[in-house]
Amino acid sequence: MTTEESLRPQSLMLTFLGEQVLGRDVCVYSGSVIDVLGRAGVGEQATRSTLTRMVNRGLLRRQREGRRMYFGLTDRSTSVLRDGERRIWHTGAVNRQWDGTWTLLGFSLPESWQRQRHDLRSQLTWSGFGPLFNGLWIAPGEVDVSSLVAELGLSAHVKVFRAHADSGTDIGAMIEETWELSELAARYEAFRSRWLPWETDPPDADDALALRLRLQAEWLRLIRRDPRLPVRHLPEDWPADRAEKTFRSVHERLTPLADAAAERLLDLVPVREDPAPSPADQA
């Protein structure tokens, strides 16, 4: 599967907005978005549909300037992008600061609540938890899941604790039994294999913006699937650190060309505090 096929349009859209709009109080012309995402492998109709869905979900605001429609961030999308920014540039892929604390979450749901059970397990997985036992999940560090549980309407059915393992516990074995380490390691190795050539091969100037967009979107997706397990309890040759060095090296190499391309290709306007536009407005 190619990188373009494996990345959802909304993931690329959010990455694009994080690069070009976040923190700048600007809106970007829909035609510019279509152009850049097209270079990253997303068709025009898919981009227009994604813009519309993101507006309807409160992730984007519209702003008309003459006959052109521009899109800017909302408080909700800003929060999402700030979280991604922290994960990429501050938290990192390798957990060397773990203090021995675990978050334990136990739940007991009625047998008929299959959808709620599926939703809870999915959200816990994205939050770095793994199934220690049936109905008891565990994550490294202190993980705040109060808003997640409340949003799912399961507060009365979930109990959360902080804990430390007994001195006789084999934490490495517990980690191997709870998380799919081989699958996660393979993802890091595959990422590094795909992007390693760009550490030395000069990119075409017109391709740099789309390449950086795909690079960052793919890296963010990868580290968001990583529960950030304590590195001292992982296999000795754990590949996350090497993959992160490749990400940073390629990003640094692409950035001057990508920034120059953005300056040339993007139509940006300042944010106006206007009343909300009509739902009939389209991308």
Please give the full DSSP string across 98-111, using - where no structure is assigned: --SEEEEEEE---T
CA torsion angle 130 125 76 57 (round to 10): -160
d(CA 209, CA 99): 39
**pLDDT for residue 234:** 95
Question: Tell me: the pLDDT tens digits for 235-263?
Answer: 999 999 999 999 999 999 999 999 999 99
pLDDT at 99 > cutoff 60: yes
The bridge status of strand 136-140 relative to strand 101-107 is antiparallel
Decide which of 279 and 116 is more confident: 116
CA distances from 18 to 55, 57, 163, 248 (A): 16, 17, 36, 17
Across 173-200, average pLDDT: 95
Instruction: Count other C-beta atoms under 10 Å from residue 266's C-beta.
Output: 19
pTM here?
A: 0.87
pLDDT digits (tens, 9 = 90+) for 264-277: 999 999 998 764 55
Place of tokens 């074995």: 173
Instruction: Give the confidence band of 5 by pLDDT, cuts at 50, 70, 90.
Output: very low
Tens-place pLDDT, residues 69-84 = 999 999 999 999 999 9
Q: Which amino acid is at 56?
A: N
Summarised one tens digit per residue, pLDDT across range 11-32 is: 999 999 999 999 999 999 999 9
Where does the pLDDT of residue 204 fall: very low under 50, low under 70, confident under 90, or very high at 90 and above?
Answer: confident
Q: Under a CB-based contact definition with an 8 Å cutoff, are residues 88 and 226 in contact?
A: no
CB 198 within 8 A of CB 254: yes
Beta-strand runs (E) in the chain: 26-29, 60-65, 68-73, 101-107, 130-133, 136-140, 158-164, 268-270
d(CA 23, CA 25): 6
- The answer on pLDDT for 216 being more than 70 is yes
Q: In the chain, what percentage of residues exceed pLDDT 70?
A: 94
What average pLDDT is seen over the chain? 91
| Predicted local distance difference test score (pLDDT) of residue 31 | 97
Amino acid at 134: N
pLDDT, mean of residues 32-52: 96
User: Quick one: average pLDDT of 133-150?
Assistant: 93
Instruction: Output the six-digit token pair for 64.
Output: 């008309």
pLDDT band, very low/low/confident/very high, at 144 (cuts 50, 70, 90): very high
Rounded mean pLDDT of 204-229?
92
Predicted pLDDT at 120? 95
pLDDT band at 194 (very low <50, low <70, confident <90, very high): very high
